[in-house]
Structure 1
Amino acid sequence: MSFIPTILSTRKIQVTTLEALDIQGVKLLQEDYISTEHLTFDLSKVNEYVLFTSQNAVKSVISQGYREVLNKKPALCVGIKTKELLEENGWEVKAWAHYAKELAPIIVQNYTDNTITFFSGSIRRDLLPDAFRANGVVFNEFTVYQTVLNPLKNEHKIDGLCFYSPSAIESYLQQNSITTEVCFCIGDTTAEPLKGVTQNIVIAKQPTVEATLQACVDYYK
């Protein structure tokens, strides 16, 4: 009987995403190791451009009734899925990149004469704000969602793990250890907390959930 690896995805995958992929070569387990909660905020001053670094920030803004106010502002964003969600909801996306570290120089080069309102989560890196301050980019920031860890004990023998954020790794490691498992990561930023924990790291070709799962399937073919 051929080997069928067991993979744990640290977030539950939408059915439509699974249907679009051929994952017959692996047994996929799914648990949500983090969740997000929308934070209420008082939308005071909004600058010329709006900046989103995740779909969660867009969803929070929309859920609180600010779409019609904000989608008149041109947008900057991180992630192809964030870009698609913004465009579906009426925004014009002027610039985007797969990673914040790629978007920062684009903004510094092209938008230093503009002002930006940044909608972020409770756990975020300082990369963009630091780049703005260092280069005189005027911005303000609203924290619009909170990341909540959900550390679950894994009771299954698994061969691989799919991670989509550093927070999910932090959550997983609170109750579990990583030994021989191969870790499939959505991107470089997600992989960083695993350095010193394991060398068995595979980074997806694109920073999307689909590409992460595809990397997993390809690895075991």
Structure 2
Amino acid sequence: MVFLMKCSPKKPCCKQVIIKMHVLLLKEPRDGESGPDPYIKELASHGHKATLIPVLSFKFVSLNTLSDKLFQPEKHRGLIFTSPRAVEAVKMCLEAEERREEWNSSVKDKWNAKSIYVVGKATAALVRNLGLDPVGEDTGTAEVLSRVIIEREDTNIPPLFFPCGSIKREVLPTALRENGVPLETLTVYQTAEHPDLEKNLKNYFTEQGIPASIAFFSPSGVKFCLEVVRRLSGEQLTQIKFAAIGPTTQDAMTAEGLCVSGTAEKPTAEHLAAAIAKALQ
């Protein structure tokens, strides 16, 4: 946030004073990228200092089953990815050299002849790294993606294959089922609270004090963090500007009684930083 000191006729020389607001990002680090996290970088461009604390830990499961299905594309109409972790699970199935060679030589092209659906730019970028051509990266939410799928697919098809997490929301499966679009799901990772979450939050509040803004990136983040944040903030909780990465997270925050000061128009670093910067003005 930038404040300009008013000049007077007697003091024509003005100085610009920049006050950095502290922003706490409750999210996972971006996979496979060097340099600063894009959310930290975007907030810095608005003059704010952001700190990232990981909220979740992940355990991959059913990778043998996932591998079998990936190498039998003829049994499915296409793929659906709504999280980077699901793509990471696929990547793990391709680590063996012979599997990777088979994927690159023929299997990925068979999938590309079908529909590859994604939510969000981060997931889309990881899917492209697999050699696949995704549709839907601008949808932003599973609800919007489900409408895209329903418009593009009919009911007389083999099922779409949806590798997902253990605590996925049921919005997309329910919408497809109600509209007769066949879907097969497989849980490929389990989500739990990060083992160092409470310790890291306590260290942050001890060292940096109450942040000006806290951003949540998932309903799981709200579930795992909010009680600790409330305890550490005490009476100053109402001074914090809370922000959400999207409407689903905003709903989870509102349900817990939080006043949400800003929600990203799209789930990107640029849009979230703009929402937080506006809330802190």
User: Which TM bucket (shorter chain)?
Assistant: 0.7 to 0.9
Cα distance change, pair 146–93 in 1 and its aligned pair in 2 (3 A): same
Q: Does 1:185 align with 2:230?
A: no
Alignment-derived partner of residue 109 in structure 1: 151
How far off is 1:13 after superposition? 4.7
Q: Does 1:142 align with 2:186?
A: yes
- Check conservation: 1:162, 1:213, Cα contact below 8 A: no
Q: Could you tell me how far apart the structure 2 residues matched to 1:201 and 1:22 are?
A: 16
| CA displacement, residues 63-104 of structure 1 (integer Å, 9 cap, x when unaligned) | 122772456313111112212221232112244421111111
How far off is 1:106 after superposition? 1.7
Q: Give structure 1 stretches of 5+ with no counterpart.
A: none
Q: Does 1:5 align with 2:21?
A: yes
Alignment-derived partner of residue 72 in structure 1: 110
Q: Could you tell me how far apart the structure 2 residues matched to 1:179 and 1:149 are?
A: 25
How far off is 1:205 after superposition? 2.3
Q: Could you tell me how far apart the structure 2 residues matched to 1:162 and 1:23 are?
A: 15
| CA displacement, residues 4-59 of structure 1 (integer Å, 9 cap, x when unaligned) | 32211112555152685361622222211222232233134541201111111111
Alignment-derived partner of residue 164 in structure 1: 217
Q: Could you tell me how far apart the structure 1 residues matched to 2:91 and 2:41 are?
A: 27
- What TM-score comes out, normalization by structure 1 length? 0.87
How far off is 1:202 after superposition? 0.5
- Check conservation: 1:184, 1:203, Cα contact below 8 A: yes
Q: Does 1:92 align with 2:133?
A: yes
Q: Could you tell me which of 186, 190, 195 is aligned with 2:254?
A: 195
Cα distance change, pair 200–126 in 1 and its aligned pair in 2 (3 A): closer
How far off is 1:2 after superposition? 5.3
Q: Could you tell me which of 84, 102, 107 is aligned with 1:55?
A: 84
Q: Which amino acid aligns with 1:72?
A: K
Aligned positions, number: 221
Q: Which amino acid aligns with 2:224?
A: S
Q: Could you tell me how far apart the structure 1 residues matched to 2:175 and 2:270 are?
A: 30
Structure with more helix by fraction? 2
Q: Which amino acid aligns with 2:258?
A: T
Q: State the superposition RMSD in angstroms.
A: 2.5
Q: Which amino acid aligns with 2:110?
A: K
Q: Could you tell me how far apart the structure 2 residues matched to 1:194 and 1:35 are?
A: 21
Structure with more strand by fraction? 1
Q: Could you tell me how far apart the structure 2 residues matched to 1:147 and 1:93 are?
A: 25
Q: Could you tell me how far apart the structure 2 residues matched to 1:128 and 1:13 are?
A: 26
Alignment-derived partner of residue 215 in structure 1: 275
- What TM-score comes out, normalization by structure 2 length? 0.70
How far off is 1:186 after superposition? 0.9
Q: Give structure 2 stretches of 5+ with no counterpart.
A: 1-16, 31-35, 70-74, 231-236
- Check conservation: 2:40, 2:49, Cα contact below 8 A: no
Q: Which amino acid aligns with 2:147?
A: P
- Check conservation: 1:180, 1:200, Cα contact below 8 A: no
Percent identity of paired positions between Structure 1 and Structure 2 = 25
How far off is 1:219 after superposition? 3.5
